[in-house]
């Protein structure tokens, strides 16, 4: 017979608070206090503590079968040992990608058609090291970054708030969630003309495109996190007669944080895509990186086109890394996503 301690889940932190609250509410009964301080035991072992005390062999089995959580120091040591390998993997894949790029340029394309895929060193020399080519790209990227950040901020506010509203009642979810799905499935290119007519063909319309593209992952992930709280944790809050506001603030939102940050990381990349798509269709005002991509394509400036694509990709990676860092700060070590 063995007893297994459940692995840490997204709701472990609220469990600790709720268990403590339940222990305090149980009063000075020494037997109850002792039971609350013991590790969680499930199955038949919960009903036969005396038998286990008389059979140390069974206790050894239980200890062998128990899931042991690694300490933060051990995890830090593992991460330190993995550090060089974690860096070598992306560097190696980058070297392979550059090698394939050279192979396509020199082995697959004839010299007359090499402008379709110019070799990496030519892109670096013509588009990156020449300030007259690089400067307009950086200025356009700065505008695209403003559009993406504004769109992501609005999408996060609308998505998280909408998910919280849907989680309050089943009829609210059934009333609103289908329209969120429809919003996700409508091709954004099909409604671009309407967006232009309603909001103009400048900065505002670009932000609207970002919001439409980045909104659904935030709604879906936040709603999933809010609804994934263990029923036993809700029962503990019910025993404490917690209000709906306290239940949302102290239990559901903390438990949903890993899912919310997953939605933010997904939507951060989508917001960059939305900003570039918006630049291509709404060209009033200063040019964004999407506008430059369209210009370079029409002029067959392949080196500048490749450089602009790489800059936009690096910006997307930077936004993703930022939200990964914020996720670790907010979640800490109580969830696997904060320790990875």
* Interatomic CA distance for residues 314 and 138, integer angstroms: 12
Over range 59-67, report the average pLDDT.
43
pLDDT tens readout for residues 324-334: 888 888 877 66
CA dihedral 327, 188, 293, 149 (to 10 degrees): -30
**CB burial string 164-191: b at 16+ within 10 A, e below:** bebbeeeeebeeebeebeebeeeebeee
Tell whether the model's pLDDT for residue 55 goes beyond 50: no
Over range 56-73, report the average pLDDT.
47
pLDDT above 90 coverage of the chain, percent = 27
Tell whether the model's pLDDT for residue 35 goes beyond 60: no
Contact 276, 293 (CB under 8 A): yes
Over range 75-103, report the average pLDDT.
77
Tell whether the model's pLDDT for residue 257 goes beyond 60: yes
* Interatomic CA distance for residues 264 and 319, integer angstroms: 10
Tell whether the model's pLDDT for residue 233 goes beyond 90: no
Tell whether the model's pLDDT for residue 197 goes beyond 60: yes
Residue 44: predicted pLDDT: 40
Over range 34-43, report the average pLDDT.
39
* Interatomic CA distance for residues 166 and 246, integer angstroms: 17
Residue 175: predicted pLDDT: 87
pLDDT tens readout for residues 135-161: 999 999 999 999 999 999 999 999 999
Tell whether the model's pLDDT for residue 321 goes beyond 80: yes
CA angle at residue 313 from 307 to 319, to 5 degrees?
A: 140
Backbone φ and ψ for 242, nearest 5 degrees, come out as: -70, 145
Give this prediction's pTM. 0.69
Q: How confident is the model at residue 48 (pLDDT cuts 50, 70, 90)?
A: very low
Residue 259: predicted pLDDT: 92
**SS3 label, residue 98:** helix
DSSP string, 295-332: HHHHHT-HHHHHHHHHHHHHHHHHHHHHHHHHHHHHHT
Over range 304-332, report the average pLDDT.
88
* Interatomic CA distance for residues 184 and 213, integer angstroms: 7
* Interatomic CA distance for residues 281 and 287, integer angstroms: 11
Tell whether the model's pLDDT for residue 16 goes beyond 70: no
Tell whether the model's pLDDT for residue 243 goes beyond 80: yes
* Interatomic CA distance for residues 294 and 281, integer angstroms: 10
Contact 213, 187 (CB under 8 A): no
Residue 326: predicted pLDDT: 87
Residue 23: predicted pLDDT: 42
Mean pLDDT of the chain: 77
pLDDT above 70 coverage of the chain, percent = 72
The gap between the terminal CA atoms of the chain, to the nearest Å, is 33
Tell whether the model's pLDDT for residue 1 goes beyond 70: no
């Amino acid at each position: 017979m063995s007893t297994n301690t459940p692995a840490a889940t997204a709701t472990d932190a609220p469990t600790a608070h709720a268990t403590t609250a339940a222990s305090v509410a149980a009063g000075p009964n020494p037997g109850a206090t002792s039971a609350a301080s013991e590790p969680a035991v499930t199955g038949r072992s919960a009903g036969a503590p005396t038998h286990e005390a008389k059979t140390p062999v069974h206790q050894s089995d239980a200890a062998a079968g128990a899931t042991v959580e690694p300490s933060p120091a051990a995890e830090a040591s593992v991460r330190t040992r993995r550090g060089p390998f974690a860096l070598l993997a992306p560097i190696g894949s980058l070297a392979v990608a550059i090698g394939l790029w050279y192979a396509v340029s020199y082995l697959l394309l004839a010299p007359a058609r090499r402008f379709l895929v110019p070799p990496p060193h030519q892109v670096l020399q013509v588009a990156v090291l020449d300030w007259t080519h690089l400067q307009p790209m950086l200025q356009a990227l700065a505008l695209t970054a403003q559009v993406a950040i504004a769109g992501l901020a609005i999408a996060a506010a609308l998505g998280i708030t909408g998910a919280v509203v849907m989680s309050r009642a089943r009829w609210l979810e059934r009333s609103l969630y289908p329209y969120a799905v429809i919003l996700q499935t409508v091709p954004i290119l099909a409604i671009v003309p309407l967006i232009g007519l309603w909001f103009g063909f400048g900065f505002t319309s670009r932000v609207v495109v970002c919001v439409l593209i980045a909104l659904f992952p935030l709604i879906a992930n936040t709603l999933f996190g809010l609804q994934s709280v263990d029923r036993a944790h809700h029962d503990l809050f019910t025993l404490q007669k917690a209000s709906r506001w306290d239940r949302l603030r102290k239990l559901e939102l903390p438990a949903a944080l890993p899912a919310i940050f997953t939605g933010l990381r997904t939507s951060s990349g989508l917001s960059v895509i939305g900003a570039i798509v918006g630049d291509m269709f709404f060209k009033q005002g200063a040019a964004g990186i999407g506008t430059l991509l369209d210009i370079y394509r029409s002029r067959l400036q392949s080196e500048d086109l490749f450089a602009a694509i790489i800059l936009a990709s690096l910006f997307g990676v930077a936004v993703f890394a930022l939200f990964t860092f914020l996720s670790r700060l907010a979640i800490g070590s109580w969830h696997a996503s904060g320790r990875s």
